[in-house]
Amino acid sequence: MCYLFIECDCGHSGTVPWGLERTTLRTEILPAAVCSRCGPRGARDMHIFWNQGANALDGARTSKDSDDRRDW
């Protein structure tokens, strides 16, 4: 899964899940971003990064799931 990392002028930063199919431009995102700590609109910088550990099936396994091939 991709995430959008946004940094405010006050130093506060946050991440937002971001789909690769989204085509919103940087010039639209930065002025519209609102800091949850200091409040004003506008952000200093942003990056899109890929989190390898994120998986669509995280949390889908139950206690009855097994990795033992004999149970397949």
| Residues lower than pLDDT 50 in the chain | none
* Model pLDDT, residue 6: 92
Check: CB of residue 27 under 8 Å from CB of residue 20. no
Measured CA to CA, the distance from residue 66 to residue 32 in angstroms comes to 46
* Model pLDDT, residue 7: 92
Q: Based on the number of CB atoms within 10 Å of its own CB, is 35 exposed (0-12), middle (13-18) or buried (19 or more)?
A: buried
Measured CA to CA, the distance from residue 31 to residue 21 in angstroms comes to 21
- What is the pTM (predicted TM-score) of this model? 0.61
